[in-house]
Structure 1
Amino acid sequence: MQKKKITELLKNAIANKNIDDLEKAIMAGFQTKENSDDYVGILIELLSADWHLCHENIVLQLQQLKDPRAIKILQKTVERKFKYLEYDDSFGLGRKCTWALADIGTEEAKEALRKIAASSNEKISGYAKKRLNRWHQEYKRKGR
């Protein structure tokens, strides 16, 4: 399925706040590496929203797409607490955000990781420090 079609599915899911349709659209998004400005913009918007349960998959999509426009929202999301993730004391969503930033691989992404590394949350800080310490070893994954 083309990203253009998936983008339309996402827009409809958002308009109706339909979690099932949102999940289907996001899963379809993993099937193509094709990128579009609208698609990334919608993922960024969805990462801020709290009406769904798809934040981790959205972060994984942004990691796959490696679009620098996602840096700010990934940095904000790192320590964000969603009610449905309260059980997760290992901060899996934050960890995924640090991986996505590392894979974006720009200097701006690296600076975001430096700021996260200064977090008072030791686990999240540790995730960011690990990505920074392995920045050059993971360079091939960055696709730069």
Structure 2
Amino acid sequence: MKPEDQRVILDLVAYPGSAPRGTPEEVLRHFGADDGRALGLELLRGAVAERDGDQVEMALIVADRFGLSPASLEPLITLCSADWHHAHEGIVSALGALHSPAAVPALQYLADWVPEYLDYDDSRAMGVKAVWALRRTPGPEAEEALRGLLASGSGIVREAAAKGLRSRGVSESEGM
């Protein structure tokens, strides 16, 4: 991805005290696209193919602005365990936005895994975000994943999983 491509995408981001400098229409025009979801998918697939961490972040910005297509699930799942980027929290948010039972194993993995670059985070923000995404994901698979996280090595994730089960009206031992 060229620096100009990144600039156009970054212009969509609002920073504290200022509005975004760019518009979604400018991004579409720059990339010669008419569908922002398709563009986001193309950028995600390109990031995976090129193992480009910066492009992962740019694709997630585009996906956040335009939304995700169901086809985004595959590259997002591929990115879950990739150690060549630092956008795992964004991946959690994107998977959570899809509300897909197919994302459950990836979300469970991300709830329990701590990438080296997040090792400092005692609050386990990524893990808690993944639990919240599981909480909003329909189906028994998500409930089973939440139950599985009750055995997590992190007390914060265990507590979030217990709250997630209670919010779904499921007891922690139900179905075990």
Query: What is the aligned-residue identity percentage?
Result: 36
Query: Which structure 2 residues correspond to residues 17-32 of structure 1 after superposition, within 5 A?
Result: 17-32=51-66
Let me know the Cα RMSD of the aligned residues: 1.5
Displacement after TM superposition at 1:34 (Å): 4.6
TM-score by length of 1: 0.86
SS at match of 1:41: helix
Distance 2:108 2:128 in 1: 11
Contact 1:3 1:36 in 2 (8 A): no
Displacement after TM superposition at 1:64 (Å): 1.0
Query: Which structure 2 residues correspond to residues 86-101 of structure 1 after superposition, within 5 A?
Result: 86-101=119-134
SS at match of 1:6: helix
| Structure 1: 4+ residue segments shifted above 4 A | none
Q: For residue 155 of structure 2, what is the aligned residue in structure 1?
A: 122
Q: For residue 73 of structure 2, what is the aligned residue in structure 1?
A: 40
Give the unaligned 5+ runs of structure 1: 137-144
Which stretch shifts more, 88-97 or 15-24?
Answer: 15-24
Distance 1:79 1:118 in 2: 10
Number of residue-to-residue matches in the alignment: 135
Give the unaligned 5+ runs of structure 2: 1-34, 170-176
Contact 1:116 1:125 in 2 (8 A): yes
Structure with larger Rg: 2
Distance 1:85 1:47 in 2: 14
TM-score by length of 2: 0.71
Query: Which structure 2 residues correspond to residues 63-78 of structure 1 after superposition, within 5 A?
Result: 63-78=96-111
